[in-house]
Amino acid sequence: MAPNWSELDRKHIWHPFTQMEQWTSSDPVVIERGEGNWLIDTEGRRYLDGVSSLWVNVHGHRRTEIDNAVSEQMGKIAHSTLLGLAGLPSIELAEKLVRITPKGLNRVFYSDSGSTAVEVALKIAFQYWRNLGYERKNLFVTLEEAYHGDTIGSVSAGNIDLFHSVFHPLLFRTLTIPTPFPYRNPGLTPQESCDKSLDRLRALAENRSDEIVAVVLEPLVQGAAGMIVHPKGFLRGVEKICRDHGLLLICDEVATGFGRTGKMFACEHEGVRPDIMALAKGLSGGYLPLAATLATDRIYEGFLGEYTEYRQFFHGHSYTGNALACAAACASLDIFENDAVLQALEPKIALLADRLEQKVGSLPYVGEIRQCGFMVGIELVEDRTSRKPYSPELTIGARVCQNVQKYGVILRPLGDVVVLMPPLSILPQEIEKLVSATVQSIQDVCGKYSATH
Ligand code: PLP
């Protein structure tokens, strides 16, 4: 008899961001296989992967080219260290990354997750100034509601109270500027909210640039904050202030990278060239844990010197530059090129936008739909006119995402924001299904709640 996988999971697995008391009284879907844009559970039920397995999958599951690249690499070696040795796939991938990222990012430092990619970026920026003799530079500028991961450094750069407040005593201090987000500032136009945020950054840069290490932000879209899309021109405005005042700019493209926003990287939309860029999630096509932090030659050269000067970057992980993960990443980047993935994406983004507007926009429970490429947040509210939120203990977002499973779709909320983030390989008919199942589930859950309260 097959083991009861659900029961074994409840017995042994501690799930991330999960109240385990609830989990252990649920009957979780146990995924056994993947096929294209679909996940298949141990009962043989099929689910459309509506959030790309937490924003990582790019070209679908079991993609032949990536499967083959990983198998082929396995026939050579799975892993060897980058401490004291070089490794073939890591070199090949670094060359590809330098070619496709914004100009100037010529140096690649590998790690394993989005959090470590940001952690590395913060430490590189900090040590860079120390190496140059700037002892007073101790502060990073961050955005309200920023999310950069869960290690202590990346949590320090984050500002989502629900996740971060408990760790406050462990965190380093940052300077924070307002998120340019008119939805939460109904009196302001997008331009006014953009100006407000840039004015605050300019004031900090004018008065405290001798203390500031870098500005850190998620370019264009603050994903974990609920798919907050910045007004046009904000990113370029930040870059200009950084250049005018000699501040470093760190762009965290962990969520936005690899086609998510319609271009390979979000920075491209505004022609921005950061000093340091953090990549992960879609880097390996969603196959294996892999991250990269890219830096300019100027930053890199700040670490050069005699061994005894101790200017080398003091950071590294056991699996840095893992050969299987780098082979998967190279194959994923080849697919982008060979299949002209970004061109094929344009009409799909338009189709998704159209269906959202037609089918979701009219629902009485929807306060706002935010979309940038294939990053979508649907904000559920109790009252559409006043945008009154649902009471948090109702966990409406979680209920909608739980309920949508019965329509054969996997979604994952951010509070009461329902996120749609499908693989770039999703087909038009699958977009139709994704949207209609989401509508159905919102109607089921919000309709029921509205009727009983
Ligand atoms: N940075 C951003 C912008 C993210 O959205 C995330 C994860 O959602 C991270 C960093 C952390 O990535 P990981 O979960 O791989 O550590």
Query: In angstroms, what CA-CA distances link 48 with 62, 160, 335?
Result: 14, 29, 21
Residue nearest to atom 2 of ligand 1 (CA): 148
Pocket test for ligand 1, best of 220, 252, 281, 284 (most atoms within 8 A of CB): 281
Contact at 8 Å (CB) between 92 and 72? no
149 Cα to the center of ligand 1, angstroms: 5
Q: What is the dihedral of CA 156, 159, 164, 165, to 10 degrees?
A: 110
pLDDT at 161: 85
C-beta 115 within 6 A of ligand 1:
yes
Q: Using one digit for the tens of pLDDT, what is the confidence trace for 325-378?
A: 999 999 999 999 999 999 999 999 999 999 999 999 999 999 999 999 999 999
Q: Report the relative pairing of strands 291-296 and 276-279 from DSSP bridges.
A: antiparallel
C-beta 158 within 6 A of ligand 1:
no
Contact at 8 Å (CB) between 420 and 438? yes
Query: In angstroms, what CA-CA distances link 177 with 45, 174, 282, 351, 410?
Result: 46, 10, 28, 35, 34
C-beta 218 within 6 A of ligand 1:
yes
C-beta 114 within 6 A of ligand 1:
yes
47 Cα to the center of ligand 1, angstroms: 24
Q: How far apart are CA 214 and CA 69, in angstroms?
A: 38
Which is it for the CA torsion 34, 38, 42, 44, positive or negative?
Answer: negative
pLDDT at 453: 54
| CA nearest to 179, candidates 111, 124, 226, 239 | 226
**Low-confidence residues of the chain, pLDDT below 50?**
none
Contact at 8 Å (CB) between 4 and 27? no
C-beta 66 within 6 A of ligand 1:
no
Q: How far apart are CA 375 and CA 129, in angstroms?
A: 35
Q: Using one digit for the tens of pLDDT, what is the confidence trace for 30-84?
A: 999 999 999 999 999 999 999 999 999 999 999 999 999 999 999 999 999 999 9
Residue ranges and CATH numbers for the domains of the chain are: 5-62+340-452 (3.90.1150.10), 66-338 (3.40.640.10)
- What is the three-class DSSP state of 402? helix
Pocket test for ligand 1, best of 15, 55, 112, 115 (most atoms within 8 A of CB): 115
The residues, ordered by sequence, that sit 6+ positions from 409 with a Cβ below 8 Å of its Cβ are 47, 48, 50, 433, 434, 437, 438, 441
